């Protein structure tokens, strides 16, 4: 696996480097210090199997917030870990299972590693393309819509893939207002040059619908989402006089069974399991099988929000941690409080 270690070495940090940081430096084939962005060169060396350490003279918080060099490395398909001093962080050396689809797992894993966790990535779902003809027809008729709504970053990604395949770009949405269910989806839109006109304060269909209804008179809305999803958002709009066209931008499928993860759960070797959507909740329970309620009692189950929690609870799984804001960074912070 290609991996680049980013190491915070801020001058104000007088703490002792962690054992992991010392080990990486000792084994490094290449240590790169601050000389501007080196993403392309680092990626090439990591792909050659070299142990690459990138030192950055930044405070830890600035390194975590990086959306330049680190983001470029992740987009290139190279994993990253973020290391700093061994400061007794709550997640230090905790084994955390990430169940997200592989397209999203890398950034989540990097965030957890940045908090000192040992990450186990085992996607319980796969994001796959579906019949895109309805989506293409809708995108060809954007002038007929008042709003377009996105309920996930995956929906944004797949929609723009279709636009590019049609030789179009973000200008196709120039005459329509854009609504996003939450900050992660809004960031995905910004990556394509689109600033959402409405970002839901609550990442649930009910809250999303209520906020849109209070912000706009009834109109025609295009909803690009997963093939299988809750119907509450379009139903609430239709009941209030809106015309809503729902099109599938992608679908989720269950990933194959990961025997190593099942053995780790059986042995109680995982400190926490992060569950970030209803589909990953269902996939996790199907992965573990009928013993899911029993085996997941042996770890801390962290759910991103109430809809995901409901999907776990109805399958008999106890939920230990859930944040007040339904985002991955908030979920990681909630895990820190749990173990702190």
Mean pLDDT of the chain, nearest integer: 87
pLDDT tens readout for residues 175-225: 899 999 888 888 889 989 999 999 988 778 898 999 999 999 999 999 999
Instruction: Return the CATH number of the domain spanning residue range 128-253.
Output: 3.40.50.10090
CA dist 32 and 44 (Å) reads 14
* Residue spans of alpha helices (H) in the chain: 19-27, 39-47, 60-64, 69-75, 102-114, 133-139, 153-165, 183-190, 205-215, 232-239, 259-266, 278-288, 292-295, 306-313, 328-339
Instruction: Return the CATH number of the domain spanning residue range 88-124+255-340.
Output: 3.40.50.10090
CA separation (Å) from 139 to 63, 101, 148? 38, 26, 10
Position 67 confidence tier, pLDDT thresholds 50, 70, 90: low
CA dist 74 and 107 (Å) reads 7
CA dist 247 and 139 (Å) reads 10
Distant-in-sequence, close-in-space partners of 287: CB < 8 Å, separation ≥ 6: 122, 124, 254, 255, 257, 258, 261, 262
pLDDT tens readout for residues 100-130: 988 788 888 988 988 888 899 999 988 888 8
Please state the rounded mean pLDDT for residues 270-295. Answer: 93
Residue 175 tokens read as 């005459």
Model-wide pTM > 0.85: no
Strands 243-254 and 125-128: antiparallel
Look at residue 274 and tell me whether its pLDDT is greater than 80: yes
Beta pairing partners, 224: 150, 247
Distant-in-sequence, close-in-space partners of 95: CB < 8 Å, separation ≥ 6: 117, 118, 119, 120, 264, 269, 270, 271, 272
CA dist 266 and 101 (Å) reads 23
pLDDT tens readout for residues 159-184: 999 999 999 999 999 989 999 988 88
Residue 257 tokens read as 């069974």
Residue 133 tokens read as 């003809």
Q: Is residue 197 within 8 Å of residue 175, measured between CB atoms?
A: no
At 81 the pLDDT is 82
Q: Is residue 142 within 8 Å of residue 274, measured between CB atoms?
A: no
Domain ranges of the chain: 3-87, 88-124+255-340, 128-253
pLDDT tens readout for residues 24-48: 888 889 888 765 666 778 888 889 9
Instruction: Return the CATH number of the domain spanning residue range 3-87.
Output: 3.40.1010.10
Look at residue 97 and tell me whether its pLDDT is greater than 70: yes
The two domains 3-87 and 88-124+255-340 share their CATH topology (first three levels equal): no
């Amino acid at each position: 696996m290609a991996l680049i270690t980013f190491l915070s070495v801020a001058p104000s940090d007088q703490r002792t480097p962690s054992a992991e940081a010392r080990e990486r430096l000792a084994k490094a084939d290449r240590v790169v210090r601050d000389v501007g962005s080196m993403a392309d060169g680092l990626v090439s060396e990591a792909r050659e199997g070299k142990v690459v350490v990138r030192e950055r003279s930044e405070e830890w918080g600035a390194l975590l917030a990086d959306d330049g060099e680190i983001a470029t490395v992740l987009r290139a398909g190279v994993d990253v870990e973020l290391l700093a001093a061994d400061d007794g962080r709550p997640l230090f050396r905790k084994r955390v299972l990430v169940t997200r689809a592989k397209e999203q797992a890398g950034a989540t894993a990097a965030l957890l590693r940045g908090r000192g966790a040992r990450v186990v990535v085992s996607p319980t779902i796969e994001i796959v393309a579906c019949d895109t003809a309805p989506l293409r027809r809708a995108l060809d008729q954007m002038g007929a819509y008042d709003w377009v709504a996105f309920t996930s970053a995956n929906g944004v990604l797949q929609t723009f893939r279709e636009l590019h395949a049609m030789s179009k770009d973000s200008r196709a949405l120039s005459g329509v207002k854009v609504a996003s269910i939450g900050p992660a989806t809004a960031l995905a839109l910004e990556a394509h040059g689109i600033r959402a006109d409405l970002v839901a304060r609550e990442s649930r269909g009910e809250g999303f619908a209520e906020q849109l209804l209070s912000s706009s008179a009834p109109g025609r809305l295009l909803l690009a989402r997963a093939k299988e999803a809750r119907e509450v958002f379009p139903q609430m709009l239709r009941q209030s006089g809106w015309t809503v066209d729902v099109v599938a931008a992608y679908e989720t499928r269950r990933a194959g069974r990961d025997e190593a993860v099942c053995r780790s759960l059986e042995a109680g070797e995982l400190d926490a399991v992060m569950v970030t959507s209803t589909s990953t909740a269902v996939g996790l329970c199907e992965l573990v099988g009928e013993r899911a309620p029993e085996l997941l009692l042996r770890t801390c189950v962290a759910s991103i929000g109430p809809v995901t929690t409901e999907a776990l609870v109805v399958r008999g799984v106890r939920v230990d941690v859930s944040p007040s804001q339904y985002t991955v960074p908030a979920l990681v912070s909630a895990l820190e409080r749990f173990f702190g």
